[in-house]
Structure 1
Amino acid sequence: MRIGELARRAGVSTRALRYYEQQGLLAARRTSNGYRQYDESDLKLVAEIRSLLTVGFTLEDARPFVECLRAGNGSGNACPESVEVYRRKLAEIDEQIRTLFGRRAEVAAQLAEACPGCALRTGGTT
């Protein structure tokens, strides 16, 4: 399939596909007239990349998952390198949560000081 069809089927822009190629995550074969040519396995790679990006991973984070799929595994998370990326990402998210809880406590304290009679609701609103 050509780049336009892959983009349509994957739900991404052709520009994104060219960028993935530039970053070494996607490898297009070229036809005799120079057009990029892709197959079903490329669709699976793009779906894996998009899935990871959607939940906050970077393109660099996606690299082990792509390499795992290219190695013939049925899933990008079947390799130890991918599992390690999951672990690192969870640690990053846990740290962000701790930071946000700390910030929330600081803002709640400032609110209590500014408005002693105001009740602080737990849903993020006052």
Structure 2
Amino acid sequence: MNQTPAQKLLTIGELSQRTGASVRSIRHYDEHELLASVRGSNGYRMFPDKAVTQVKQIRRMIATGFTIEDIRGFPDCMLLLEGARTCDQISDVQRQRLETIERQIADLERRRIRLLKTLSEGAIPPID
């Protein structure tokens, strides 16, 4: 298959090198239909150049606390533009994710206080 430079497809290894994502993560994103891959004549996954931006955006969103399922529901523009600003369609999801993180932080802080008290008193304190 002859390709012009604009049509060059990336191997999963090349995509991994260009994005810093592991090959395993890229396969995971592809299996969840966040990326569009094609199979080469050798059966290996091949990715268009735009997948570099998509993988970087996916990694940013995951680092912010979003799940693969959350990201699947986001508009395509969120994946196609590197550094894309969030849009109104996902503001509710962002607020819900923030509330979850804040609850987790509060729970961890309660556990931390109990553990500090246990260490200082030498006994596990009763549950409040």
Q: TM-score, normalised by structure 1?
A: 0.68
- Report how far residue 32 of structure 1 moved: 5.7
Q: Secondary structure at the match of 1:24?
A: coil
CA pair 79-73 structure 1, distance change in 2 beyond 3 A: farther
Asked if 1 retains the 8 angstrom alpha-carbon contact of 2:57 and 2:82, the reply is no
Check conservation: 1:10, 1:43, Cα contact below 8 A. Answer: yes
Do structure 1's residue 97 and structure 2's residue 109 form an aligned pair? no
Aligned pair partner of 2:27 in 18, 21, 28: 18
Q: 1:82 aligns with which of 70, 80, 90?
A: 90
Unaligned runs of 5+ in 2: 1-9, 124-128
Deviation at 1:94, TM superposition (A): 0.7
Compute the displacement of 1:111 (Å): 4.0
Distance 1:78 1:105, change over 3 A: closer
The question of 1:36 aligning with 2:45 is answered yes
- Paired with 1:114 and 1:15, the residues of 2 have a C-alpha distance of 45
Equivalent residue number for residue 119 of structure 1: none
**Corresponding letter in the other structure for 1:98:** A
| Higher relative contact order (CA closer than 8 Å, sequence separation 6+) | 2
Deviation at 1:8, TM superposition (A): 1.2
Quote the Cα distance in structure 2 between the aligned partners of 1:48 and 1:56. 13
Give the TM-score of the pair, scaled to structure 2: 0.67
Aligned AA (2:94): Y
Unaligned runs of 5+ in 1: 116-126
Identity %: 37
Change (3 A) 1:112 1:11: closer
Residue 114 to residue 59, structure 1, CA distance change in 2 (3 Å): same
